Amino acid sequence: MIALLATLSLPACSPQAVPDGRNLGGDPHLGMAIAQAKCAACHGGAGADAAPGVPSLNEQYPEYISKQLAAFAAPRGAPNHRESAVMAPIARALTDRDRGDVAAWYAVNWRKPLKSRNPANVALGEQLFLHGHPQDDLPACAACHRADANGIRPDFPNLASQDPAYIEYELKNWERLRGHRGKLMSIIAPRVKPEWAGPIAEYLAGRASRPVQ
Ligand code: HEC
Ligand code: HEC
């Protein structure tokens, strides 16, 4: 990561001036300062892992990170509100520009590969992720998050090597935390039986994440 930033070798400058062909939507240099001061204790970042149960933001699509920050900051009842007592005040304290910068910085960080803690569950998780469960009208997760679980920029987040406790918690609590009528995952998540959430999370933990393109 340090080497990557060094190769950008830029003076402090506006996001528009960052010559990164990936269109990160913000300035990773400015984002690093914000992340180290306000996020890294929980989400990790430069050389540190996220705390257990806290999602990794590394190699996540910057548009997705910015969108979630806006959702945490949105008032309860707003069509995009995402519930989190921890993240709401943190997200509200960031300007739109800060959100774009910090998202850009996490997007270019390397995500540490995880291993499934419970290999016995992985086969069921794989089956559900790749093929869904047609008897319960559950489509394949891979249809939107891709077979390699790395998602599709900008809308479908990267789930590979994501913290399994976090994934399991989100799937089991989707409706309460971030369920909005008409949204794709609000249709999918209620069809994931509670006993499937852990196996899917274990399977995802063992998938390799790749850098944001
Ligand atoms: C005190 C710990 C803590 C700090 C500090 C913190 N976060 Fe979080 N963050 C969390 C937790 C816990 C979640 C899981 C969401 C929830 O609360 O349900 C989360 C979720 C998120 C998500 C959603 C990720 C996803 O995959 O959907 C984003 C984006 C995020 N945080 C960004 C940030 C940024 C940017 C900062 C710094 C400005 C920050 N967080 C600081 C604990 C923290
Ligand atoms: C029709 C498309 C679609 C399908 C099928 C789908 N997802 Fe999603 N998923 C999405 C979208 C879009 C988001 C982003 C939601 C947002 O922006 O808040 C998402 C977000 C998620 C997240 C949140 C990631 C994070 O970092 O917080 C998880 C977990 C997830 N999906 C798991 C699954 C699983 C497991 C399945 C299969 C059972 C599945 N998804 C099937 C579209 C889909």
Q: Is residue 5 part of a domain?
A: no
CA-proximal residue: ligand 2, atom 11 (nearest): 156
Q: Do 143 and 188 fall within a single domain? A: yes
CATH of the domain at 80: 1.10.760.10
pLDDT in tens, 83-94: 999 999 999 999
Q: Is residue 3 part of a domain?
A: no
Number of other CB atoms surrounding residue 13 within 10 Å: 12
Q: Which long-range contacts (CB under 8 A, 24 or more apart) does 137-143 make?
A: 137/191, 138/188, 138/191, 138/192, 139/188, 141/188, 141/200
Is the C-beta atom of 167 inside 6 A of ligand 1?
no
pLDDT in tens, 164-211: 999 999 999 999 999 988 899 999 999 999 999 999 999 999 999 999
Is the C-beta atom of 51 inside 6 A of ligand 1?
no
Predicted pLDDT at 101: 98
Query: Is residue 14 pLDDT above 60, yes or no?
Result: no
Is the C-beta atom of 163 inside 6 A of ligand 2?
no
Among 107, 141, 169, the domain-final residue is 107
The ligand placed nearest to the CA atom of residue 79 is: 2
Are the CB atoms for 129 and 146 separated by under 8 Å?
no
What residue type is assigned to position 203 of the chain? Y
Atom of ligand 2 nearest to the CA of 60: 26
Lowest mean pLDDT among 23-37, 40-54, 98-112, 132-146: 40-54
The ligand placed nearest to the CA atom of residue 177 is: 1
Q: Give the CA angle between residues 44, 46, 213 to the nearest 5°.
A: 95
Are the CB atoms for 131 and 81 separated by under 8 Å?
no
Q: Is residue 37 part of a domain?
A: yes
Computed over every residue of the chain, the mean pLDDT equals 91
Q: Ligand 2 centroid vs 182 CA: distance in angstroms?
A: 13
Mean pLDDT, residues 1-22 taken together: 51
Predicted pLDDT at 84: 98
What range defines the domain where residue 155 resides? 119-205
Q: Whole-angstrom Cα distance, residue 106 to residue 136?
A: 36
